[in-house]
Amino acid sequence: MRRVVPHSGCLEAERRRYRSFKIVNAHCDLSVLETFVPAMDAAVAALSTIDIVVVTAGDFATQPVLEQDLERTRQLLTVNFTNTVLFCELARTRLLARGGTLCVFSSVAGDRGRKPVILYGAAKAGLARYLEGLDHKYRAQGLRVVCVKPGFVKTSMTTGLKPPPFAGEADGVAADVVRAIDRGRPVVYTPRIWQLVMMVIRALPRFVMRRVEF
């Protein structure tokens, strides 16, 4: 469980805003269910109430690696879908008590079945659909759900991969996410240009998707 804390000079206003926040740490491993409740309890005990939960954690491996390793695939699907959903279910019950925001990182990879990210994308697609359902069911009861769909962002997850056009930086993503939480937007593409990129990709016919490699 992580809190988005922007840290670049260009985000000084956001940084000032977060300076008054109390920061505490609790161990939460998305591959170990037993860590979820203690982590949430530790957060509630330290902060007395929770009104925003941001789930940024995610696992990644390339499609060729996953295709040759069923156990690695199981691990990635479990962390990115099953256990993220289970963690969100725990957060949902805590947040519904007073109202609040659940913000979770999915990916543009979930918007279309694409050759380079079939397995990773499938988990993110499922996650996005789950978050959409939560938004439909619980918005009226005070739970705001924000599904973040980053495009390619230069972070440790993408180290070693060739950045495509429109690759973003973490600080820009953090600023977009803070804005989306403030506004209660149910879905946010970041960097914003990826909303347009994915609109085009979603519209491509299947015979084109079979031929292209992205």
Ligand X SMILES: NC(=O)c1ccc[n+]([C@@H]2O[C@H](COP(=O)([O-])OP(=O)(O)OC[C@H]3O[C@@H](n4cnc5c(N)ncnc54)[C@H](OP(=O)(O)O)[C@@H]3O)[C@@H](O)[C@H]2O)c1
> Which C-beta is closer to ligand X: that of 125 or that of 207?
125
Listed residue (108, 112, 122, 115) closest to 63, CA to CA: 115
Least spacing, CB of residue 133 vs ligand X, in Å? 19
Scanning 18-26, 111-119, 147-155, 176-184 for contacts with ligand X by CB under 6 A, the matching segment is 147-155
- Residue of minimal CB distance from ligand X? 58
Least spacing, CB of residue 141 vs ligand X, in Å? 26
**Which of 6, 36, 39, 58 is the binder for ligand X (CB under 6 A)?**
58
Scanning 4-12, 40-48, 154-162, 198-206 for contacts with ligand X by CB under 6 A, the matching segment is 154-162
Q: Which helix (H) or strand (E) holds 55?
A: strand 52-55
Listed residue (40, 130, 51) closest to 85, CA to CA: 130
Describe the crossing of helices 83-96 and 36-47 by its angle, rounded to 10 degrees. Answer: 30
Write the Ramachandran bin of 48: left for phi over 0, alpha for psi from -120 to 50, otherwise beta.
left
Please state, in angstroms and rounded to a whole number, the distance separating the CA atoms of residues 139 and 142.
Answer: 5
Question: Could you say whether residue 110 binds ligand X (CB under 6 A)?
Answer: no
> Which C-beta is closer to ligand X: that of 60 or that of 130?
60
Tokens of 17: 């805003």
**Which of 11, 76, 77, 79 is the binder for ligand X (CB under 6 A)?**
79
Question: Could you say whether residue 73 binds ligand X (CB under 6 A)?
Answer: no
Least spacing, CB of residue 153 vs ligand X, in Å? 4
> Which C-beta is closer to ligand X: that of 160 or that of 205?
160
* Dihedral over alpha carbons 180, 181, 187, 192 (to 10 degrees): 20
Least spacing, CB of residue 192 vs ligand X, in Å? 14
In terms of DSSP bridges, do strands 168-169 and 153-154 run parallel, antiparallel, or are they unpaired? parallel
φ/ψ (deg, to 5) at 143: -95, 120
**Which of 107, 114, 174, 189 is the binder for ligand X (CB under 6 A)?**
107
Question: Could you say whether residue 158 binds ligand X (CB under 6 A)?
Answer: yes
φ/ψ (deg, to 5) at 147: -100, 115
Interface residues toward ligand X, by CB under 6 A: 29-31, 56-60, 79, 105, 107, 150, 152-153, 155-158
